[in-house]
Structures are given as structure tokens and as C-alpha cells.
Amino acid sequence: MPNPHQPTPPTVHHRIDHDCDVLVIGGGPAGSTAATLLAEKGHRVTLLEKAHHPRFHIGESLLPANLPLLDQLGVRAEVEAIGMQKWGAEFISPWHAHQQSFEFADAWDKSMPSAFQVRRSEFDEILIRNAGRHGAEIVEGCRVREVAFLPDQAGAIVHAEHDDGRSETWQCRFLVDASGRDTFLGNRFKAKQRNPKHNSSALYGHFTGAQRHAGKKEGHISIFWFAHGWFWFIPLADGATSIGVVTWPHYLKTRKNSVKDFFLDQIALCPALAMRLKDAELVSDVDATGNFSYSCDHSYGDTYLLLGDAYAFVDPVFSSGVMLAMKSAFEGAEAIDTCLRQPNRAAAAFKQFDKVMKHGPKEFSWFIYRVTNPTMRDLFMAPSNVFRVQEALLSVLAGDIYGKTPIWGSLRMLKLIYYLASLANLKRTLIAWKQRKFNIRYVEAPEGTA
């Protein structure tokens, strides 16, 4: 029976220059990981990447749950060589008189005590070169322009354009959309939808000379709350520090000056961060990204999958993006291999893949939607491990949400504590609810603008 999620775009009439088993759109963590795994399984894989590596990308903070995936790919040593070791995180609130630090070693599973902060240009290049070493054909500077799906689940025809204007066409048995926030298929199928429960925008840049902690906490990611959202502070191994502010789109649209000056103005509104940047120098452009939160209404069709950010993105506050992307690639590679080798088991493989794709964003979203709520801030700033709720929360922050770690009962208890604390401060809760409802209202803003 045809899959209801298999739309048919207009037919593309081009000569066929190449053929492969699997064509991957995008050479970020999701695409490169999927290409590596599928090539390892013996499939003929072509990866088309619109840019040339190394290229800049935001999202420099990894989670402990990334490390087993890096081990399976055989690149952990390379990542460790370019990374700043990250043992934990700290939260700084202007509404509390102290800072609160957490270490991943205190999570439920003690076997994943650390992660890394990485320059994504270096990290992503490690992954894409690894895919090439494993036999995937890597074509950079090549942007996919059109896709047409063939009848009878025979695959797809992909038309792409090189930087120099040359056009080439591939025929593949299976198509992987790992195009990140471009969401190539999501946009073509009109499947990409704004997230009605969250709405945020970001400004970010790199500094040198930022004040870091000493010793083991040097690599901690710092989260600073302020009146209009929150900041990230991510130390990198080469001495640079990634600073970003995530705020409501309607607030970003109040900007009357340049993006750079508006960004620096927001830093000044957060004294604790401004103090750590008082001797720092901005050494990059300031970039802006709008409409941060979205999801697609499906993750697969008969002969295609959407991976990582091509499927959904919520918010970077817990640094989950790279881990979710790579996990989706591992699950996606298994599903594709099953579909190509055992078509009679495709339905079950798709079902498992879709379950994994929905699980990650769902588990992180509950906390993301509430991270600026005063009740949630109180819980983060005054943690308790009654019923092992702190260990369970740290497991989520570590990305340990797919295995057998028995955190779910404690997470339910944590949510109950949150709701009871909200009721105990009902007036404050109602004010915060009304403010959030105002903040997440949809404001039309083109991608990448402010």
C-alpha cells in the first residue's frame, strides 16, 4: 500500500548523469553520519553539500550522549583533539543570589561524565571526511534544486547545480533530507510548520578574551537568564567563546540600530555576562536567525526520510541539536537499510524511525517550553534529588533519553513538583502564563533576518 506521506512533486525532465542507492542532501552531522553508516553497510551513497567544508555553523556544544555515537563512527579521538572538555553546565539568574552548577557525572548513569565544546566548522569537517573515508561519494559546492519521485516506489531523480553553474542529475533508490534548517523536502511538500508552543530568535557571535572559570569548570556551558530570554556562553579550545542570545521574535523586531549594536545592547542588559565579557573583543560578524522553532508534519515517505533539523528544531538551550541529528541518522540508516534489503519489513522500520524522531524533541520540549518560567528557574537554582529527580533531570541534559536508564518515573515526579509549586504561587504563575502567551504569538519574519 502506498505511503500517505509520499507526495509527488512535478516531474523533472533531465538526463540521468549518475545513479546511487542512497542520495543524501546536506553534509552536516545528520547527513554525514547517515552517509557513513550506509556506506559501511555496503550501499552506494552520494552526499551533496551546498557549501564547502570547513564552513561556519552555530551549535558548538555537544552532549555526553554524543560520545558513544562518535565512538561508533570511529572519530572520537579526532573530536577530542579539537574540543574543549565539557563536564557540566551552570545557570545564572538575576532573580537569585547565587550561581548553580551541575555536573553530568551526577546524572543517573555515571558512565557518561563529560562531552565537548567544538567549533562546528572543524567538527562537521571531521564527520564529512569520515563519510568519504568509508566510501560515500562527497560532492561539495553542489545545491539540490529539484526532486521528482518515481512511480511504484522506484526512488527519486535529483537535479543539482554546482557552484560553477554546471548541472547534474542523480537517480537514487532512496533520498535522505539532511539539509538542516533549509528543510528541503519539508518546504517542497509544505510540511514545515511553525511550532505553536514556542517561538524564538537568536543573535550570536564569537569573542576572544572572555573571562573563563578555572580548572574543571573552564569548559562548562553557562546559561544566563535575563529579562528578554537567555544567553549561552560556550568556551572553545582555541580561546574563542561563542556567545548567543535567544529571545522572542517580537522583541527582536524592536531593533532600531544595527544587528551588532542590538546584540551588544542585550549583553549590557545582563550584568553577570557583561562582567565576564568586560575585557573581551568581538572577533566575528553577528548573525541573526529568526523563526527558530518548527517541525514537519511527517518524518518519512516510501523512499525518503527527514533527519535532524530537516525534520524539527525547538530551541538550543539544552544543546540537544547535534545529538538529536546524529541519533536520527543512526536510526535512519537502520530504517533505510531495512527498506532496501527487506522491503516487506519497511513499514515496521519506518514506524520505529518515526517513534525515535518524535521522542527526542518531545522530551526536551517540556523543559524548553518552561525554561524561562519563574517556577522552573527556581527548580534549577535550588535543586533537590528527592525521588532522584535531579539525577533524572541531569540525564535529560546529558541526552540520555534513548537507552534503558530508568529515569521516567523520577521525571514524572519532577513534573508533579513543578505543577504543585506553580499552584502554590498561582498569581505569579498566571502572570508568567499570560506573558508567555503574548511572547509566543506568531510574528512573520523571514528566515535569517531580524
Q: Are residues 381 and 338 in the same domain?
A: no
CATH code for the domain in which residue 234 is found: 3.30.9.100
Q: Are residues 33 and 172 in the same domain?
A: yes
**Residue 80, domain member (yes or no):** no
- Given a cut of 50, whether residue 217 has pLDDT beyond it is yes
CA distance 281 to 207: 5
pLDDT reported for residue 71: 98
Q: Is 84 helix (H, G, I), strand (E, B) or coil?
A: strand
Tell me which of 302, 331, 357 is where a domain ends. Answer: 357
Strand partners, 169: 159
Q: Are residues 167 and 286 in the same domain?
A: no
Q: Are residues 398 and 409 in the same domain?
A: yes
The chain-wide mean pLDDT, for the chain, equals 93
**Among candidate residues 345, 273, 314, the one with its CA nearest the CA of residue 440:** 314
Q: Are residues 268 and 411 in the same domain?
A: yes
pLDDT reported for residue 3: 53
Tell me which of 330, 357, 384 is where a domain ends. Answer: 357
Q: Are residues 183 and 323 in the same domain?
A: yes
Who has greater pLDDT, 193 or 30?
Answer: 30
Q: Is 75 helix (H, G, I), strand (E, B) or coil?
A: coil
**Residue 154, domain member (yes or no):** yes
Q: Are residues 140 and 285 in the same domain?
A: no
38's torsion region: left (phi>0), alpha (psi -120 to 50) or beta? alpha
Please give the full DSSP string across 418-433, using - where no structure is assigned: HHHHHHHTHHHHHHHH
Q: Are residues 392 and 408 in the same domain?
A: yes
Domain extent, residue 67, equals 18-73+120-194+294-357
> Cell numbers at residue 115, please?
562531552
CA distance 403 to 65: 10
CB–CB of 436/373 below 8 Å?
A: yes
**Residue 29, domain member (yes or no):** yes
Long-range CB contact pairs, 11-15, < 8 A, 24+: 11/148, 12/146, 12/147, 12/148, 12/157, 12/159, 12/169, 14/157, 14/159, 14/167, 14/169, 15/169
CA distance 382 to 393: 13
- Given a cut of 60, whether residue 442 has pLDDT beyond it is no
Residues 6+ apart with CB under 8 A from 387: 409, 410, 413, 414
**Residue 142, domain member (yes or no):** yes
Enter the pTM of the model. Answer: 0.93
Tens digit of each residue's pLDDT (9 = 90 or more) over 353-398 = 999 999 999 999 999 999 999 999 999 999 999 999 999 999 999 9
CA distance 71 to 124: 15
CA distance 375 to 428: 9
**Residue 33, domain member (yes or no):** yes
Q: What is the tally of structural domains in the chain?
A: 2
Q: Are residues 177 and 146 in the same domain?
A: yes
Cβ-in-10-Å burial (0-12, 13-18, 19+) of 263 comes to: buried
Write down how long the chain is: 450
**Residue 51, domain member (yes or no):** yes
Q: Are residues 141 and 287 in the same domain?
A: no
CA distance 116 to 104: 12
Helices 374-381 and 408-424, axial angle in degrees (round to 10)? 120
**Residue 78, domain member (yes or no):** no
Q: Are residues 204 and 188 in the same domain?
A: no
> Cell numbers at residue 52, please?
564547502
Tens digit of each residue's pLDDT (9 = 90 or more) over 278-310 = 999 999 999 998 767 899 999 999 999 999 999
CA distance 361 to 406: 19
% of the chain residues with pLDDT over 90: 88
Tens digit of each residue's pLDDT (9 = 90 or more) over 309-337 = 999 998 888 999 999 999 999 999 999 99
CATH code for the domain in which residue 350 is found: 3.50.50.60
Tens digit of each residue's pLDDT (9 = 90 or more) over 201-213 = 999 999 999 999 9
**Residue 7, domain member (yes or no):** no
Q: Are residues 287 and 302 in the same domain?
A: no
The upper half-sphere exposure of residue 398, i.e. CA atoms within 13 Å in the direction of its Cβ, equals 31
Whether omega before 54 lies within 30 degrees of 0, making that bond cis, reads yes
